[in-house]
Amino acid sequence: MIFINLLKKMFRSHIWVAILISVIITVIVSTAYFYEFFDKLEWTVYDARFLVRSLFDQKESRQPDDVVILDVDQQTYTDLNIKWPYPLSYHAEIVKRLREAGAHAICFDMIFDVVSQKSEEDSLFARTIAQEKNVILAEQYILHSQHSVSYEEPVRPNSILQSGDPYLGFVATLRERDASVRRSQIVHKLHSASGSSESLPENSQGSFSGDPSEKWVPSFSLMAVMLKKGFPDAEIKINYQKSRVEVGDLHIPVDKEGSILINYYGPPRTFKTQPYRAVYLKGDLELLLSMNGSFFKDKIVLVGVSLEEMHDLFTTPYVGKEQLMPGVEIQANTIQTILDSAYINRMSDGGLILFIFLLSLFSALSTLIFGPQKGLLLVIGEFFLLALSASFFLIFFDFWLNVVYPSAAILLTFAANTFYQYMTEEREKRYIRSAFSLYLNPSVVEKVANDPEALKLGGQKKILTVMFSDIRGFTTLSESLDPEELTNFLNEYMTAMTDIILKRNGTVDKYMGDAIMAFWGAPLDDPDHAYHCCLTSLEQMAELKKMQKRWREEGKHVIDIGIGINTGEMTVGNMGSSQRFDYTILGDAVNLGSRLEGTNKDYNTNIIINESTYELVKECFLIRKLDMIRVKGKLEPVTIYELIAMKESGLPARVLAGYQSYNKGLDAYFNMQWSEAVLLFQQAMDALPEDGPTERHLKQCMLYQEIPPSPDWNGVYVKTSK
> What pLDDT score does 140 carry?
93
Nearest to 109 by CA among 406, 297, 312, 367: 312
The C-alpha angle with vertex 209 and arms to 207 and 210, in degrees rounded to 5, equals 165
Contact yes or no for 431/452 (Cβ under 8 A): no
Query: In order along the chain (722 residues), what is the average pLDDT of each group of 10 residues?
Result: 50 71 92 90 88 65 84 89 90 92 94 89 94 94 75 88 95 88 91 48 47 79 95 91 90 91 91 90 72 84 91 84 86 95 90 92 83 82 90 89 93 87 63 47 63 58 95 81 86 91 87 91 87 96 94 89 96 74 85 92 94 95 93 84 90 90 92 92 91 92 90 80 58
Query: Would you say residue 443 lies in a domain?
Result: no
Residue 468 burial by Cβ neighbours in a 10 Å radius (0-12, 13-18, 19+): buried
* Number of folded domains that form the chain: 4
Residues 467 and 560 both lie in one domain = yes
Bridge partners (DSSP) listed for residue 460:
572
The sign one gets for the Cα dihedral 58, 60, 61, 62 is positive
Residues 657 and 633 both lie in one domain = no
Residues 389 and 466 both lie in one domain = no
Cα→Cα distances 499→433, 442, 486, 513, Å? 21, 13, 20, 18
> What pLDDT score does 63 carry?
74
> What pLDDT score does 634 carry?
75
Contact yes or no for 260/231 (Cβ under 8 A): no
Residues 660 and 642 both lie in one domain = no
Residues 633 and 659 both lie in one domain = no
Contact yes or no for 223/168 (Cβ under 8 A): yes
Owning domain of residue 318: 66-145+152-190+213-340
Gap between the Cα atoms of 55 and 45, Å rounded: 16
Question: What is the b/e burial string over 223-254, where b = at least 16 CB atoms within 10 angstroms of the residue's CB?
Answer: bbbbbbeeebeeebebbbeebbbebeebebbb
The alpha helices in 242-348, defined as continuous H runs, are 276-280, 282-291, 327-339
Q: In 10 A of CB 98, how many CB atoms?
A: 24
Residue 132 burial by Cβ neighbours in a 10 Å radius (0-12, 13-18, 19+): middle
Gap between the Cα atoms of 704 and 714, Å rounded: 13
Contact yes or no for 228/66 (Cβ under 8 A): yes
> What pLDDT score does 453 carry?
52
Query: Would you say residue 442 lies in a domain?
Result: no
Segment (H or E) for 553? helix 529-553
Residues 634 and 539 both lie in one domain = yes
The C-alpha angle with vertex 61 and arms to 59 and 62, in degrees rounded to 5, equals 65
Examine the fold and report which residue of 291, 317, 340 is the final residue of a domain before the chain moves on.
340
Gap between the Cα atoms of 70 and 275, Å rounded: 6
CATH number at residue 553: 3.30.70.1230
Nearest to 242 by CA among 195, 276, 208: 208
> What pLDDT score does 196 carry?
43
Residues 396 and 476 both lie in one domain = no
Residues 232 and 118 both lie in one domain = yes
> What pLDDT score does 206 carry?
44
> What pLDDT score does 318 carry?
85
Phi, psi of 561 (to 5 degrees): -130, 160
Bridge partners (DSSP) listed for residue 149:
146
Query: Would you say residue 198 lies in a domain?
Result: no
Query: Would you say residue 6 lies in a domain?
Result: yes
Gap between the Cα atoms of 235 and 299, Å rounded: 24
Gap between the Cα atoms of 390 and 376, Å rounded: 21
The two most distant CA atoms of the chain are separated, in Å, by: 103
Query: Would you say residue 197 lies in a domain?
Result: no
**CA 310 and chain centroid, separation:** 25
> What pLDDT score does 437 carry?
52
Examine the fold and report which residue of 434, 463, 486 is the final residue of a domain before the chain moves on.
434
Gap between the Cα atoms of 22 and 16, Å rounded: 10
Gap between the Cα atoms of 425 and 419, Å rounded: 10
Gap between the Cα atoms of 379 and 637, Å rounded: 54
Bridge partners (DSSP) listed for residue 137:
108, 168
Residues 363 and 427 both lie in one domain = yes
Residues 540 and 675 both lie in one domain = no
Residues 332 and 366 both lie in one domain = no
Residues 335 and 391 both lie in one domain = no
Examine the fold and report which residue of 605, 630, 648 is the final residue of a domain before the chain moves on.
648
Judge if pTM exceeds 0.95: no
Bridge partners (DSSP) listed for residue 468:
517, 564
Residue 183's SS3 state is: strand
Query: Would you say residue 622 lies in a domain?
Result: yes
| Three-state secondary structure readout of 336-393 | HHHHCCCCCEECCHHHHHHHHHHHHHHHHHHHHHHHHHHHHHHHHHHHHHHHHHHHHH
Query: Would you say residue 207 lies in a domain?
Result: no
Half-sphere exposure of 637 (CA within 13 A, CB side): 11
| Amino acid in position 244 | R
Query: Would you say residue 440 lies in a domain?
Result: no
